[in-house]
Chains A and B, each alone.
Chain A
């Protein structure tokens, strides 16, 4: 999938993607982290259940919708990783109302 170009000594943070923990560079987006950790899908589509990964990385396609720290429907490419963040796949349509 993707790799880091330089083993620059950047700070890392630990995130949990599904049930595994990964150290990823601080400051990158959740979508970038997912591609770096070679996770093979972020979500299944609501209609046909087909797997998807980030497509545009700039906030327009919404193919990167995931659940972050229990909040569904977040755009992974627009959210920065944080220490101890929990990232979970999204299956089908999640209710939009769960952020209250």
Chain B
């Protein structure tokens, strides 16, 4: 590891892998830092090891990840794994933590591809042992070939929830119930988007095949859900909710050992924010987006963004955005001229357009329910400092008009996760109570260290 590279890429998911491999091929001195031990990011986690073995239940897309990982590993890019970024500033100085020692790396260009996280889904009892995210279930499946024992319930909505349901069924795991909490866009809202999504027919067919498989397996699917909650003392014992049966609303309770929650993914904007990139609220995606040009250049000097960390685009589009970023950086660093850049970009842009055409439909179909963005007063919002929605509302009514004030007043967001699991809820609550827009409300201020770091680790620098 050197202390300076021409290009530093953060994140070894599809966007970061493609950007690094292409940049290296174009003659750029590039390093890629990533938190995991093997390349692939969350979507292609462990792809190089388990793609062949697990194709039956992980699906064919996973093989694509293996190809991408191989392409990267065979390139001349420097790979720094097991490294968490704990510091980043607008002078392109990056602090990373590897094996308990801190290092600083500077770069001429920075490309952030730090991906997405699942949108927090606060509901009563979500902190009980036995409740996890669907993404966590998937990580256990991909990296350890582990599946839940006992009675399994999935709740929420979104492509990933369908995917994991399909994967579990392929692997022979029984699913007790699926609780669909998506409000469901009306047919009228969906139709025009459906037409626009036709270029990405493969996505639609895949989604459909998952739904059919779930039907065929006879898994009960509950819809029109209200007051969803996890119940139990030392761990989850049951999940309860109300649903509509005929014309009546009825209470249902299902005994459960494992409950997996998911309501879509949101961009992981913390590193872009720390680097000084401007962001905007995307009402359609109900999430933040980094403002960028078609090459992924952000408003911050020499800082590029690619993939889901700049707004949710999915794995394939992220990969293509990474390639476009590499082209522009190679042009700026005089490895290729304008004509070469434009010629190489043509096909990529066309393909990117196709992969993005599915997004408006997905965003509408799987819009998150308000109920888990504006939870009831007795729902825990901050898992670290244990702050409930009621306390946050009270703080707002007493005059805290922004997330940072709520934080100072209630300690919400002050724990080790630094607001990753409560930030979006706090902002939504502030907007709801004060009538302000999300843009006016903003987000928790991002301050290094992004990861807890000890004095000892710092002293090793």
Contacts and interface: CB of A to CB of B under 8 A. Distances in A.
Contacts of B140: 2, 32, 35, 57
Nearest to B258: A1
A51 B171 contact: no
Interface string A40-60: 110001011011111111111
A2 B235 contact: no
- B contact face: mostly helix, strand, loop, or mixed: loop
A28 B132 CA distance: 18
Contact of B383 (A25, A36, A55, A100): A55
Given A6-B145, A8-B145, A60 B117 contact: yes
22 contacts: A1-B149, A5-B141, A5-B171, A8-B145, A27-B144, A28-B144, A35-B140, A50-B386, A54-B136, A55-B127, A55-B133, A56-B117, A56-B132, A56-B135, A57-B132, A57-B139, A59-B84, A65-B416, A78-B35, A80-B37, A96-B452, A100-B456
A57 B164 CA distance: 15
Nearest to A33: B144
A3 B420 contact: no
A58 B171 contact: no
A58 B146 contact: no
A58 B117 contact: yes
A92 to B, nearest CB: 12
Contacts of A4: 144-146
A55 B136 contact: yes
B257 interface: yes
B404 interface: no
Contacts of A29: 143-144
| A interface, over-half SS | loop
B377 to A, nearest CB: 17
Interface of B: 35, 37, 42, 53, 57, 84, 100, 117-118, 127, 129-133, 135-136, 139-141, 143-150, 171, 234-235, 257-258, 383-386, 415-417, 420-421, 452, 454-457, 459
Contacts, number: 125
Contacts of A5: 57, 141, 145-147, 171
Interface string A63-86: 101000000010001101000000
Contacts of B457: 99
A45 B145 contact: no
Contacts of A73: 416, 452
B136 A51 contact: no
Nearest to B100: A99
A48 B386 contact: yes
A52 to B, nearest CB: 6
Contacts of B139: 57-58, 77
Contacts of B383: 55, 61, 63
Contacts of A48: 386
A64 to B, nearest CB: 10
Given A3-B149, A54-B132, A57-B140, A99 B258 contact: no
Contacts of A50: 127, 386
A78 to B, nearest CB: 7
